[in-house]
Amino acid sequence: MSRLILVTGGAGYVGSHTTIELLAAGYEVVVVDSCVNCVAGEEGKLPPSLVRVQELAKKSLVGFYRVSLTDALALAGVFEKHRVDAVVHFAALKAVGESVEKPLEYYQSNVSGTLTLLQVMREAGVHRLVYSSSATVYGAPQYLPADEQHPTGAGLTNPYGKTKYFCEQVMQDLAASDKEWRLVSLRYFNPVGAHPSGRIGEDPLGPPNNLMPFVAQVAVGKREELSVFGNDYDTPDGTGVRDYVHVVDLAEGHVMALDKAFSKSFRGYASYNLGTGRGVSVLEMIEAFCRASGKPVPYRVVGRRAGDVASVVASCSLAEEQLGWRARRDLQEMCEDAWRWQKLHPNGFRSCQ
């Protein structure tokens, strides 16, 4: 009998790609999503991203529920209906800049939602969870590349990063209090790209908050130019440097983290970086996307964005050593796959309904 995984936020960008990989790995999947970060389906129907997931995986979901994690009663109902073996938890608000403007909404969604999920899991006797965390827990890095021993929680520059840090602290305390828990936190370093089929990809409901979808929208003609937030950072070309990782590599990392959560030798809490270990500046990303798309990407330098830091690059040796994971797709492939999705779906999933 195959194991059943509950994926929160499974209709979103990273969640949908991970759901495909979970299905491919032989897991059964039930998805919970409030559809705050994704295009919702018509009444009683799946979101278009999950319709595509089923087509690509050639396998159906066990179920889909349009439920907010802050709704404890509705969430408990999902656990009562399905015998869940583990949870992969993506559901959260995720824009650094927006979190500075709307801190209450971010604490409510990300912290309260995670607390409610963990409480409902405990009541249902489910103690395995893979958590979607972030490199923002490192704040302004004290050294690079940042490894898992780097201090977290100090000098955090935005509420989004604080919500991820607080949730990690809750999980560490929970694991220390009860040896039944098996909790794995994955700290992301800028997911980009799309499924190589071009059938699913990143589809921001409003203005993009991340670099690559903004670049892609300029390349496809939806926007006139890209705003580059600052060119006076202490980096080789003055623009912000980030560690970009292909979303399919990231999705595969969740499957490997889940394998660890199910291993008999693991108990407690562990955290891992998922990135490439290579920094790419904003201007380097623009150049790489121009090569992949054959399109110009006009840009204009504007002031720095609140909450941003100059450079963040990962050390991912621990994930390779303990999970057997490493990023296999390079920047060119990230850009080519993102462009394929954008070119085929200039209006994202809205054109799929």
Active site residues: 160
Q: How many CB atoms lie within 10 A of CB 159?
A: 25
Separation CA 275–CA 228 (nearest Å): 22
How is residue 267 written in tokens? 């108990």
Question: How is 117-139 classified by DSSP, letter by letter?
Answer: HHHHHHHHT--EEEEEEEGGGG-
Q: Which of 247, 227, 245, 340 is nearest to 293 (CA)?
A: 340
How is residue 214 written in tokens? 């903004």
Report yes or no: 135 and 305 within 8 Å, Cβ to Cβ: no
Alpha carbon distances (Å) from 65 to 39, 107, 153, 204, 273: 14, 23, 33, 21, 30
The three-class DSSP label of residue 344 is helix
Separation CA 316–CA 187 (nearest Å): 10
- Looking up tokens 């608000």 gives 93
Task: Give all strands of the β-sheet with 241-242 in edge-to-edge order.
Answer: 280-281, 241-242, 311-312
DSSP label of 314 = B
